[in-house]
Amino acid sequence: MTDDRSPNQQLLPLTAQALTDHGSSAAHLSIGGCDVVALVAQFGSPLYILDELTLRTACQQYRRGFAQYYAGASQVLYASKAWSCLAVCAIVADEGLGIDVVSGGELYTALESGVLPRSLYLHGNNKSLPELELALNSGCVVVVDNWHELKNLDQLARSRSQNPLVMLRLTPGIECHTHEYIRTGHLDSKFGFDPNDVPAVFSFLSQSTLQCLGLHAHIGSQIFELQPHQDLGGVMAEWFLVAQRDYGLSFSELNIGGGLGIRYIESDDPPSIEEWVQTVCRGVTESFTQRHLPLPKLLCEPGRSLIGPACATAYTVGSRKEIPQGRTYLAIDGGMSDNPRPITYQSQYRAVLANRLDAGADQVVTIAGKHCESGDILIRDLKLPLAQSGDVLVVLATGAYNYSMASNYNRIPRPAAVLVSNGSASVILRRETYDDLLRQDCLPEALHRQTTTS
């Protein structure tokens, strides 16, 4: 069974339904064939609920789009910084995707999930020597970000008599309308080689033992515009031409990054996955054909648009505070430690009551987290049915940069995550315990003596 809806355009996972045959008069939210209220009763809250079908559908739509709109070879990579864990890596690899990793930890996770090293691409603007050594040991592709790294990697490769596969990350100078923290393609960015450095880098590579496959660029995240992605093809094709004509470098791969946005609130209107892929393919094809260059193997790195819509986070409602002529605050049993995006990026979300899905929205509330921080607000001015303690609140589209950015702020254990499919749920991340919080703590003997004798 296939679903033609583009997951990034949906507020709810593709399998979300109103469940009415569960013994209650009110409809419950069901995801992946599982009653969300029952999931919370079984696994506790907060609880990340990952819908396998939604994730697989997004993977398939990306792959199908490149097969349809691009005449050359292609490879979709999952940007695992959005959510890196064994289960997610295994699912995307099973769908034929490679993985973009940005640290030794993400690389190790992908390798342990069984992903083939040649389909892994290591990014990062300050890779450590141990990370570079892990990359060389594994055989993954290293996306070189700057001179410091390029020289370190070249020296390391020579000392080991290796010829590692690399790509160069360039800053294309393309602006897009998104949050300033997640714009990466403009010239004033910490990522990538400046265009003025590129000729010298090409000259260095022409004499290096490094095997440079091609170029990489990424213009940002949560982007709703298509034109910047169309423009990127021309910028990169010009550098391919310069590399071949002036330095004898025959590049074979072009990675145009990711950045396609998703729908977090009703007014968000992102392009579909198919529209994004078609735009990228057209831009690259036209740009390379105009310069009489062979089409490169085309890579992209979606993260948010793959995993974001596939997950929802369930909370249990706790206290309520009504301010006369002011806001009504509804507190939940999580907040900024399991979803730091609202306090970090002023991100907006929507939520529903899972145990009364069909009730009318008759109040406006602000959803407050439980952390000792005034800014720990997940959603402002949300329309909900009259909510009370014990209700199950589900925040939508939380797959991207929620668990991956989660913390133990206030010494709160991180939530569990379950994978749901065809009516069954499997734990993919165990809930942390208080013992887990102390696992890395060390109490010096002198302090231990003081606490036991005082």
140 counts as catalytic: no
Distance CA 39, CA 47 (A): 8
What single-letter amino acid sits at 160? R
- Report DSSP letters for 354-370, one per residue: TTSTTS---EEEEEE-S
**Cβ-contact 372, 361 below 8 angstroms:** no
Residue 451, phi then psi, degrees to nearest 5: -75, -25
Contact 305, 274 (CB under 8 A): no
Identify whether the C-beta of residue 137 lies closer than 8 Å to the C-beta of residue 156.
no
130 burial type by CB count under 10 A (0-12 exposed, 13-18 middle, 19+ buried)? exposed
DSSP 8-class letter at 352: E
Task: Look up residue 356 and give its two tokens.
Answer: 């009364």
Neighbours of 375 (CB within 10 A): 12
Nearest CA to 217 out of 243, 249, 195, 197 is that of 195
Of residues 85, 311, 372, 442, which has the active-site annotation?
372
8 A C-beta contact, residue 108 and residue 85: no
| Locus of tokens 């190790």 | 108
Residue given tokens 């020597």 in the structure block = 129
3-state secondary structure of 213: strand
For residue 195, give the 3-state DSSP assignment.
Answer: helix
Instruction: Answer for the pair 395, 351: CB distance below 8 angstroms, yes or no.
Output: yes
**Ramachandran quadrant class, 193 (left: phi over 0; alpha: psi -120 to 50; beta: rest):** beta
User: What is the spatial distance between Cα 328 and Cα 317, in angstroms, rounded to a whole number?
Assistant: 13
In degrees, to the nearest 5, what angle opens at C-alpha 87 toward C-alphas 126 and 78?
50
> What residues are labeled active site?
372
